[in-house]
Chain A
Amino acid sequence: MKQYVMGNGAIALGALAAGVGLAAGYPGTPSSEIIENIARNAGEGVHVEWSVNEKAAMEVAAAAAYSGVRAIVTMKQMGLNVAADPMMCLAYVGVKGGLVVVSADDPGPISSQTEQDSRRFADFARVPVFDPSSPEEAYQMVQDAFEMSERYGTPVILRPTTRVNHGYAAIETPESFHPKAAEGFIRDPRKWVIFPRASYLNHGRIESRNTELAGVLSGYRYNTVEGPGNAETGGKAIVASGISYAYAKECLGAKPPVRLIRIATAFPFPEEFMVKALEGVQEVLVTEELSPYIEEQIWKTAGRHGLSLKIHGKLDGTMPHNGEYSTELISAAVNAFTGLQTGSSPISTDDAPALPVRPPVLCAGCPHRASFYAVKRAMQGQKAVFCGDIGCYTLGNAQPLDMVDTCLCMGAGITMAQGFAHTDPDIKAFAFVGDSTFFASGMTGVVNALYNEADMVLCILDNATTAMTGHQPHPGTGRNMAGHIVDKVDIGAVLRGMGVKTVETINPLELDKATEAVRRAAQEKGVKAIIFRSPCVALSKPTGKHAVDAKKCIGCRKCIREIGCPALLYEQGKARIDRNLCAGCGLCAQICPAGAIGGEKSE
């Protein structure tokens, strides 16, 4: 069966073709659609879940793999930090059923806090890593990864990058999928219980296994050499990995005129293969996004084998360390390195008029806008710090709301607010956290605040979904990835159960009530929580449209200056609402000093 799917769909189908029996993950761009595609295509007997966070996902999958079931865990690169604890330990303990960890890297970064490189994580954890350069390869490699994982009893990382995750291609798959049979968990405390002595022994075994794997991977079908043979290399070669290989091929064509070496398995590094590929070569250009991992391995290889080799890449400043690569960037580097003339001459746009900047913004009608505005209004003129977090509501930083003073990593807002409160007793410390992030990594922070007597206001922006990554369900939604209706985990009850005495739930779109609730909470001592509850505007039906009465509008621009809704425009001295964008939230109508904005109810 041929299916036209996203790279993430290809990974999902590859895992199913490999007989995966359990899939767990936490949403994160660019990895989110893998779990969704597994759920959509899985047959009977496959457990699929959105776990509460990546650490939970890794541990759920570990147990499946201990039982001989093939399991996959999916996350973005930041998620692997959260799952680092079980990942590092699991590398020592090992697995029985294949366990593939997909950690999707995000060069740019396009939707992430860092440009970290999961290939380095594989090296750190001493587990093999596969690096696909296209959705088609990802489909094959995830299956190869399962084979290797099971044969060598180790977790294996598949490291795609954004352009592979979000690229579409046609994939030929079996008609139906069946999970590989497993014998179940067999008790063996000496194997499954991690102890210093066992880890000492396993550490030795892991290193000898990796030496063996480096040899095995030297024959891997996706570690390839193309272009001229040893006699006519011209002394030069280009090394590429992942999507950079696709860009290099785009420049050099189906039959490269210069030697092109592709490394698909960065760790354990296929040294034997590389030494052979470099025969007749005196100078290499290494093109890889993120960190200079392969470049460093070539330095080591050259040192160990006494190769006389000039190595160009990130370390000598030839290639940039940061940002995404492109066909154009690699083409320019290839041309400078080889004297070839690759690439095309596009229309020059140097004389183009100045282009508008489009930073991402909260959608028109987004309830987060109302929540931020209520807090801003309540705290006007007071010394306060607003700790943000990861999700759509990070966009509360944009002008004119300008309500995010810090954003670090998942759940950090809650704990950072405490640090600010402890070091400055005069400051009102606020933390904003979304519902999904609260479950993922917010709860322990609340306990920390209670235990250590922090004064803070916790604002939970509960829009009943994981919006930024594409509207995944979470424990508060009453729905799970298996498609079942389940008991909702009630955020208010969780907070009260922990010991938070003031927990108020309000509708942020009722601005005056919301503002009052914030004022009350800010005056109290201790840990106070306000749950701003209103569904994501992308998932709820518009309640009607609003319009500006031009006769009443005094042109003061207060609506535009203060809330920054994309549906609000200013034309010929008056405000206007774009009907195509307005969701009818009514926030602008509540702040208009002239009463010029009114709603029309939808029928």
Chain B
Amino acid sequence: MNKDIMICGVGGQGTVLASKIIASAAMAEGNPVHSAETIGMAQRGGSVTSHVRIGQDAFSPLIPYGHADLILSFEPAEAVRNLKYLHPEGMVIVNTTAMKPVNESLKPSGYEGETMTAYLKEKCCCLPVNAEEVSAPFGSTKFFNIIMLGIAAGSGRLGIGAETIAREMEKRIPERFLEANRKAFETGYRIGQESQSI
């Protein structure tokens, strides 16, 4: 299997955990895997990306432009920022809730999530998800990263079995949070499956 998966968002949204689970699940299924994370200053509210490269043919730690089979974006503008990485046949799963940077409150540029989502729909195969709506049963958006992971698995675009991902979650998530995370994953998985029928 050769697959390039990008996870992007804003520092602090939990993208790193999602990418680590995808990478280790792909490896558990016997694939060679490479990945790369944004670490350092940008983690403080800046744009962050994780690149997961599955398969023999990856040399660069970063996905080249036009190669990503799937982009999981935790923020609408970040999906647009990284759209150049998407393979023309690839898919974007995007949170429609905008994270407005501090400077946006100071000097508004008119940034709205809707504009970005509309643009994505026009340009590529795109599955919009409202983080606040899907997170509502969980009381906060803390589990949204795992919901996204579930959507990706349910969409069939990840090429990794849901059971393998569940096992990797067990390894990485502390016992006391596991039940809530499992539910979050299932919630996402259903959304992902439904998207296949569209």
Contact = CB atoms under 8 A, between A and B. Distances in A.
Given A29-B39, A361-B101, A347 B86 contact: yes
Contacts of B81: 355
Contacts of B62: 163, 326-327
A166 B34 CA distance: 11
Contacts of B87: 344
Nearest to A326: B62
Interface of A: 4, 6, 29-30, 110-111, 134, 163-164, 166-170, 243, 246-247, 249-250, 253-254, 326-328, 331, 343-347, 349, 352-363, 392, 395, 398-400, 468-470, 560-561, 564-566, 568-570, 579-581
Given A30-B39, A355-B77, A395-B44, A347 B64 contact: no
A361 B80 contact: no
Contacts of B77: 355-356
Taking each of B58, B86, B106, B119, which has the highest tally of chain A beta carbons within 10 Å of its own beta carbon?
Answer: B106
A167 B45 contact: no
B103 interface: yes
A561 B83 CA distance: 33
Contacts of B155: none
Contacts of B65: 327-328, 343-344, 346
Nearest to B68: A346
B152 interface: no
Contacts of A361: 44-45, 101-102
Contact of A111 (B32, B40, B106, B142): B40
A167 B36 contact: yes
B84 A356 contact: no
A110 B44 contact: no
Contacts of B45: 358-361, 363, 566
Nearest to A244: B60
Contacts of B38: 166
A345 B85 CA distance: 10
B36 A163 contact: yes
B106 A359 contact: no
B40 A354 contact: no
Contacts of B142: 580
Contact of B27 (A170, A354, A399): A170
21 contacts: A4-B23, A30-B39, A111-B41, A167-B36, A169-B33, A170-B27, A170-B32, A249-B60, A327-B62, A345-B66, A345-B88, A346-B85, A346-B86, A356-B100, A356-B101, A360-B44, A361-B45, A561-B106, A569-B100, A579-B140, A580-B141
Contacts of B100: 356, 569
A169 B51 CA distance: 12
Contacts of B57: 253-254
Contacts of A164: 61
Given A30-B39, A163-B36, A357 B66 contact: no
Given A249-B59, A354-B109, 16 more contacts: A111-B42, A134-B61, A168-B35, A169-B34, A250-B59, A327-B65, A346-B83, A346-B84, A347-B88, A353-B115, A355-B81, A358-B101, A361-B44, A392-B44, A398-B102, A561-B106
B150 interface: no
B195 interface: no
Interface residues of B, number: 58
B60 A4 contact: no
Nearest to B84: A346
Interface of B is mostly: mixed
B146 to A, nearest CB: 15
B37 interface: yes
Interface string B100-112: 1111111001010
B193 interface: no
A592 to B, nearest CB: 15
Contacts of B111: 354-356
Contacts of B41: 29, 110-111, 360, 395, 468
Contacts of A360: 11, 41-46
B109 A4 contact: no
B34 A29 contact: no
Interface in B125-156: 140-142
A294 to B, nearest CB: 19
Given A347-B123, A564-B106, A358 B10 contact: yes
Contacts of B159: none
A168 B20 CA distance: 10
A136 B116 CA distance: 39
Q: Which 3 residue pairs across A and B have the least CB separation, nearest first?
A: A346-B66, A111-B40, A167-B61
A346 B124 CA distance: 11
Contact of A347 (B10, B66, B101, B106): B66
A110 B101 CA distance: 19
Contacts of A166: 36-39, 61
B12 interface: yes
B103 A399 contact: yes
Contacts of A170: 27, 32-33
B4 to A, nearest CB: 11
B33 A4 contact: yes
B164 interface: no
Contacts of B115: 353
A540 B62 CA distance: 34
A399 B103 CA distance: 7
Contacts of B190: none
Contacts of A564: 102, 106
B103 to A, nearest CB: 6
Contacts of B23: 4, 168
B37 A399 contact: no
A76 B23 CA distance: 27
